[in-house]
Structure 1
Amino acid sequence: MPETLTAKGRATRARIIEGAAELLREQGPAATLDDIRARTGTSKSQLFHYFPEGKDELLLAVARFEADRVLSDQQPQLSCLDSWENWQRWRDVVVERYERQGDTCPLGSLFLQVGRQRPGARAIVTELMRQWQHQLAEGMRALQAGGLASPALDVDRASAALIAGIQGGVALMMSTGDSTHLRAAIDTGIDHLRTAGK
């Protein structure tokens, strides 16, 4: 990305990323730079001004955008996990998000195009999972502080297990079209929080 962008430049870059994300969700890997230019109303020179390394750099920016959406789509519930009711609300938001997404995973599709080994690609997923696990762990600590969960609960391990369960449930849902496994993984994870250490 160019080092210093004006407000207009930042807005143009964001418009390109958002438009590319929409197009890639619709068309997947078949989307070309010309398709992205047409969707976003940008010229070839604008695309290469904001993404000098071309499509790979743009796809990484879209991957960051999609990763941020994974967490922002769970707000404000993800930041307010201090009661069992709020955990249930968060659970419902997560299930609804992935059911709405269906059998496609925008972030996963992007990584197939860019390659997981490309510098930056793995870091995007690692940071997403770190932030998500941290927010879940904070919610578990809030339950402990409120006397709703046992102080013996290992929040780091429980939050890691919950993330793994969600990811496995999403993978099975994408394969089968059925969210039963995702629902079971989250429900079992929340049930564990209620009973751990008792």
Structure 2
Amino acid sequence: MTVTEEPKPRRLTPKGRATRDRIVEAATELIARNGVAGTGIEDVRAAAGVSGSQLYHYFDSKQALIRAVITRQADSVLQPGEPRVTALDSFEALRAWADAAIERQVETGCRGDCNLGSLAGELSVRDEESRSDIANGFLRWKDLVLDGLRAMRDRGELRADADLEELALSLLSALQGGVLLSQTMLQVRPLEASMNAALAYIHSFAVDAVG
């Protein structure tokens, strides 16, 4: 079987980059409201204010556009929390990120968003390319958390025997599971409970924690 190399992305002018970004932004907003299945190429074209030829210049299919949305959301770094966090390397930073994620659900009325979790729910079972892209996005998020936890351990704030990989996965699982349940029940309490439990678990490995 011949392995086909991924095509190299074309170099864009500043104007071209702005147009492409506008298309991806429009697609992201529409998917947040209508889901992937309920968002058509023509909907995106109209929302972005571009012609059909412009849209297909940057994305030759809906699949290519969806993959760009996945990349955008993975790059947004641990959404749905705001403000975006660059270093989750203290108990205070972890708490602030959790609170921001909770506040995001309050702001949207737990009505959903276009994030890796929602995209995974729609795409990962039937679309192997999308599943792989989403999985890679989650791995990048996990590594960001892992880097922060490693810094905490190196400073002597977490015990040397803490399984940092498990702690990072527990925190991301709490986020994704809590968001899903909150959006299903239309109340923020499930996300609050899951994040509080995950942070308490991490804190149990603090060097000054009572055993």
TM-score bracket relative to the smaller structure: 0.7 to 0.9
Residues 116 and 68 of structure 1, relative CA distance in 2, 3 Å threshold: farther
CA 180–76 in structure 1, closer or farther in 2 if over 3 Å, else same: closer
The structural deviation recorded for 1:115 is 5.9
Q: Percent identity?
A: 31
Match in the other structure for 2:4:
none
- Where 2:53 maps in the other structure, the secondary structure is helix
Residue matched to 1:59? 66
Code of the residue aligned with 2:94 in structure 1: it is: W
The structure 1 segments of at least 4 consecutive aligned residues displaced by more than 6 Å after TM superposition are none
Q: TM-score, normalised by structure 2?
A: 0.79
User: Cα deviations across residues 76-121 of structure 1 (Å, max 9, x unaligned)?
Assistant: 6643333322222121112112333423242455556656443430
Which position in structure 1 is the counterpart of 2:30?
A: 23
Distance 2:199 2:30 in 1: 36
Equivalence for 2:102: 95
Q: How far is the alpha carbon of 1:8 from its aligned partner?
A: 2.0
Q: Structure 2 CA distance, aligned partners of 1:48 and 1:11?
A: 15
Q: Does the CA-based 8 Å contact 1:133-1:163 persist in structure 2? A: yes
What's the TM-score once normalised by structure 1's chain length? Answer: 0.84
Change (3 A) 1:70 1:177: farther
RMSD: 2.6
Q: Note if contact 1:148-1:194 (Cα within 8 Å) is conserved in structure 2.
A: no
Q: CA deviation at 1:176?
A: 0.7
Aligned with residue 83 of structure 1, among 71, 83, 90? 90
Question: Could you say what secondary structure the match of 1:4 adopts?
Answer: coil
**Unpaired runs of 5+ in structure 1?**
none
1:34 equivalenced with 2:55 (yes/no): no
Say if 2:77 and 2:84, in contact at 8 Å, map to a contact too.
Answer: no
SS of the residue 1:188 aligns to? helix
Partner of 2:174: 165
Taking the aligned partners of 1:194 and 1:115, their CA distance within structure 2 comes to 33
Which of 134, 138, 141 is the matching residue for 2:147? 138
Residue correspondences, number: 197
